[in-house]
Structure 1
Amino acid sequence: MQSTCTSNQRAPLRGFTLIEFAIGMFLMSVLLSAILTPLTAQIEQRKVTETQSALAQISDALMGFATAHGYLPCPDRMTGPGANDGIEDLNAGGTNCAVAEGNLPWVTLGLGGTDAWGNLFRYRATTAFTDRANPFRLTTAGTLNVQCPAASCGVATTYTNTAPAVVLSHGANGYGAVNGQTRAANIAPASGDELANADGNTNFISRSPAAPGAAAGEFDDLVVWLSTSILLNKMIVAQRLP
């Protein structure tokens, strides 16, 4: 009797080497980066669009308030009694504003108070347009300026120097805004153009966005303003003027 002996030969098992594992992780990180980078950009663009829509609604609300009352609302102060509560703040006599610039009085207007990044909108109005004792007339002109300096736009550009009111979002970085949740002031802007939108004077900057490190400085503010002509026309149509 012939016996046969069989042996099972198994192929040696081979696991990932450290090099192969590292290559795999690198490829995964590249793939995730390729997916997440445009996704992040899309999310930010959606927030910009949402905030632009809110600013357009704010402009309409300010026009509506003026036609209903005969004057624009006062800002909500950023410091002091009643600060950051969304209600316009009047002076002691109740005839004009306690502050020239502050937050948008969103409660007074019946609107949401924050932009898509959770910060309060900044608002300034020409004093002659917020005066209760002496309502504005057809000859009243705004005094707020919105421009883009030559250093930022190549050629100095003035968009308006007669705006009755300016409203702005301090953008994604939120520099210069009041946080809508904590009601605390964010850090001050570092770039000159963003600082111009938070320094409390009558000059504002509107220009294309720029990333940190850009030659003209970082900028992501979104700025809108009322037109004196359009506001006066709406007042005439509503028979509030002349």
Structure 2
Amino acid sequence: MTLPAPPRPDFPIDEVMQILSQAMPAFTQPLIDQMGDERQTPFRILVATILSLRTKDTLTAVVAPRLFGVADTPEATLALGEDRLAELIYPVGFYRTKARSIVQICAILIDRYGGAVPSGLDALLELPGVGRKTANLVVTAGYGLPGICVDIHVHRITNRWGYVAAKSPDATELALRAYLPRQHWIPINNLLVTLGQNICHPTSPRCSVCPLAEHCARVGVVRSR
């Protein structure tokens, strides 16, 4: 599939990423980065990301360590059973459905991969309850391999900039894989999640204090502060 030229071919993406890399460390970091390098095993990242879906990071930051204090390997997690796992991850959103998916995932990891989490995107996408956002985060944060984790913040902000013009996170990922210089693939998620949680909100973004105000096309912004 051939993609059209980016909507803003002159968008200064290198400068924008540099500005963000300098400004965003002053804010609270996304959940996965709060875990610390020594605790970012691929399995922990996989499970924590599943727990975070439709759940605030502040809640996941409490629930995930509680679970990992009891079990943080596929074998130990599977041994808990679905009911006990559901108790440990309550009250994250859809906790019973997530418990079921995590138990199924653990069984697959043990059966197919010897208890390891696969590093390939296609293999990860075959796991129950794992979408492209989760799979890409495991690939990038878990293994340090090239990938672009596009969540709602990355989707919203890159489209708001006018850097891409896509109707869904998956379409945004496809566009970014074509347009975005590879050195920015891994860091873009952390930087834009931080920007989105603190400044570039879905409604009424804080444009007056945004370090990227002069570069942003403000596509779709009706009201700002």
Q: Which has the higher contact order (CA 8 A, sep 6+)?
A: 2
TM-score by length of 1: 0.25
Q: Which has the higher helix share?
A: 2
TM-score calculated relative to the size of structure 2: 0.27
Where is the strand percentage greater, Structure 1 or Structure 2?
1
